[in-house]
Amino acid sequence: MISERVKRSLSREFKGSRLAQLGVVLVLLLFLVATFAPFLALHDPTTTRIGTGGTEDLSELPPLGFSYTEQRVTPSGSETVEITARQTFPLGTNALGQDIYSRLLYGARVSLLVGLLGALLATAIGVPYGLVAGYFGDRIDDTLMRGADVMLAFPSLVLAIALVGVFRDSDVHTTTVPDPFVHAARSDIVPNVLIPRAAHVAEMPASFTFPVTVTLVVALVNWVWFARVARGEAMSVRAEEFIKAARSAGASDWRILRQHVLPNSLTPIIVLATIQVAAIILLESALSFLGFSGTDLTWGADISDGRSDQRSYWWIATMPGLAIVLAVIGVNLLGDWLRDALDPSIEGEGGV
Amino acid sequence: MGLAKFLIKRLLQGVVVTWGVVTVVFFLRYLTPGDPTATLLPPDAGPEVRQRLRENLGLDQPLYVQYYDYITDLVVLDFGESMSSGREVAGLVASRLPATIELAVAATFVAVVLAIPLGVISARRRREPVDYGATLFSLIGISTPNFWLGVMLIIFVGVHVDVIPTTGRQMGLRTALFALSNGSASELGQWAAQLVLPAITLGTYFTALITRLTRSGMLEELGQSYVTACRAKGLPETLTLYKHVLRNTLIPIVTVLGLQLGTLIGGAVITETVFAWPGLGRFLITSINNRDWTSIQGTIIVIGVGFVLINIVVDSLYAYLDPRVTAE
């Protein structure tokens, strides 16, 4: 399906652009981290260490290379304690003593899954809608696109907030997804010698919470962009000679749409889908920052935690934000690469 | 088709879209799981009390009657009473509107003032350090979540610079201007200082986006032969760049800005939350947390309709910049 010409222009653009290479590296890293989080994590990301029940208080440890002093009340008065970083908590801990590094790895799962599934769902809704509008034109187009205009009249975050508010109390707000690696490490089905660090993996959480409502909402908010692009493509493809040829050979509208219009509209849709993954990761982080996501193991929720803490614990909010920026830069650069290689005419913005 | 006819057509479209917005908002409420009276009454309220409340709210009427009442109320700007405070939603929304408008205008101002010169310089000095710097800045700018930027600004700047308040809005522009007319300028300074961090937070994404657009648009235009003609006749470079090339570049910039205004308004919602800025966005979040449906509806309608209006203004500006638009 991928032609030689496309491969050539992708590789030419890739070799010539440092930014495209950086983008691919960042996205690969994001995929690896999200998939293999149980192997890479140093601790269970949900374990708290606030010093109750005789355990050591490890809350608000600074990242490696930093330290700070704190007044602590002791039975004999108060004393100044120096809090230093620990090797086993490289990026420090939050107010509950949870390991920030491990939380970042698990947060990548939610961001990436919501980003990919949200973009996929938005494509599945928007592309057929736009293709039908653009292919049939006239009254059908007018009606369908007025509907899309109404969707566009809501700023996406406002609509998303409203929809999450609506569906927040429903039963399917979140779902727990079992972690296959952890299950394999805990059971005897797969010999444990085949799993690297099996004992370590077995101690990780057996499942993670996936925000269903948020994924549906980001798709419902963003499908319109796919509809607009697909419509534009269908309008220009429909005028081509080969469509007339297909029609005169007796092909039905449905067949023409599927066999001819869709394949010829794919390039800009793929580019848009890539850029939308970045937009959806940002939207998801905003929703979880506001506390609407239903799970607290996400980058946005961790930023919100760090904000309510005292300002001297700067790393708690800083680290997850850096993770978001790197992930979104990676996906955006990947999108720029695809756009420059496949279709330089899309949406004016030229890269470097 | 003349400009007037174009505007009339655009306004009519706006009315249809507004009707759509209002209808969607009406039905949103009916998608909510659970009984709306549950949030209004204590859990131990008896069924008769519940029934009386439903009658008072008109919830026992058929849906089309409720819809008719809702539309006729909206036409006279009656958004109902807040379910949590009992005050008129229209008044609550109106009192929060100035804060949001100040924030949005300040952010747009920051973006336009910084981004356009940056984009022009970047295109003029292509492949020089200043261009790489601007490109890097705009890449990071469009990839940074603005709420995080706000939190970072509070942690790393706000606490160290005493002049700049990090939360809240001590006064509106009207109060500051009133003080100025009485001969006291310090209020205006305070008013501007409280806006600095929120405006940077909200404006950074747009600064980055406009820089990117200006740069690529300028690069495209600089290759045109009229640029050579301007230079050949000895026009100063600044005049060529800003009067001729930039003007042609503005057209795509205005288009994209119009499409991105939704992001600005959405961004305002979250910026207001970070800075405890008493605008519409914070009101929306509070209302959602209180499950105060009348306030949620009122806020979303005002935001949606405001957005439709702004888009009409942007389209008119576009028609003015590029007369070809009206010649369909």
Output the DSSP codes for B242-304: IIIIHHHHHHHHHHHHHHHHHHHHHHHHHHHHHTT--SHHHHHHHHHHHT-HHHHHHHHHHHH
Provide the pLDDT for residue A340.
84
pLDDT for B325 equals: 65
Counting one residue from chain A and one from chain B, the pairs whose CB atoms sit within 8 A come to: 152
> What number of other Cβ atoms are within 10 A of residue B185's Cβ?
10
Residues A89 and A220 in one domain: no
Same domain flag for A308 and A319: yes
Q: Are residues A156 and A291 in the same domain?
A: yes
Residues A225, A170 share a domain: yes
ipTM of this complex: 0.89
Among B11, B35, B84, B155, pick the best mutation site for testing chain A contact (most A Cβ within 10 A).
B155
Dihedral (CA of B267, B270, B272, B274) sign: negative
> Are both A86 and A115 inside the same structural domain?
no
User: How many helices, marked H, and strands, marked E, lie in chain A?
Assistant: 14, 4
Answer whether residue B313 is part of any domain. Answer: no
Q: What was the pLDDT predicted at B144? A: 94
For B296, which residue in chain A has the nearest alpha carbon? Answer: A162
Q: Is residue B210 part of a domain?
A: yes
Mutation pick from B148, B157, B220 vs chain A, by most beta carbons of A within 10 Å, is B148
Query: Does A324 sit within 8 Å of B156, measured CB to CB?
Result: no
Q: What domain range includes position B235?
A: 97-289
My answer on whether B63 and B158 are in the same domain is no
* Residue B138 shares a structural domain with residue B243: yes
Closest CA to B299 of B269, B254, B327: B269
Task: Say whether B154 and A348 touch across the interface (CB within 8 A).
Answer: no
Q: What is the count of structural domains for chain A?
A: 2
pLDDT score recorded for residue A348: 37
- Residues of A in Cβ contact (< 8 Å) with B13: 149
Q: Which of residues 38-57 of B touch A (CB under 8 A)?
A: none
Asked if residue A138 and residue A124 are part of one domain, the reply reads: yes
What SS3 class is residue B309?
helix
Residues A279-332: tens digit of each pLDDT: 999 999 999 999 888 888 999 999 998 886 556 788 999 999 999 999 999 999
Query: pLDDT value at position B176?
Result: 82
- Looking at the fold, whether B114 and B241 belong to one and the same domain comes out as yes
| Mean pLDDT on A197-221 | 89
Residue A195 lies in a domain: no
Residues from chain A that touch B144, judged by Cβ atoms under 8 A, are: 321, 324-325, 328
* Contact check, Cβ <8 Å, A163/B28: yes
How far is residue B186 CA from its own chain's centroid?
Answer: 28
Number of domains in chain B: 2
Residue A70 burial (10 A CB sphere; 0-12, 13-18, 19+)? exposed
In this prediction, the residues of chain B whose per-residue pLDDT falls under 50 are 328
B66 and B133, same structural domain?
A: no
Residues A302 and A336 in one domain: yes
Residue burial B27-54, b: 16+ Cβ < 10 Å; e: rest: ebbeebeeebbeebeeeeeeeeeeeebb
Task: Check CB contact under 8 Å for A166 and B28.
Answer: yes
For residues A250 and A338, state if they share a domain. Answer: yes
Nearest-CA distance from B289 to chain A in Å?
8
Q: Are residues A14 and A82 in the same domain?
A: no
Between these two residues, A195 and A275, which has the higher pLDDT value? A275
Same domain, B169 and B241: yes
Let me know whether A164 and A23 are in one domain: yes
Instruction: Identify the domain containing residue A29 by its residue range.
Output: 4-47+98-174+211-342
- Min Cα separation B238/chain A (Å): 23
Is residue A180 situated within a structural domain? no
| A77 and A104 together in one domain | no
Q: Are B65 and B101 in the same domain?
A: no
Assess whether A222 and A248 both reside in one domain.
yes
With a cut of 50, say whether residue A224 has pLDDT above it. yes
Q: How far is A167 from chain B (nearest CA, A)?
A: 6
pLDDT in the model for residue B326 = 64
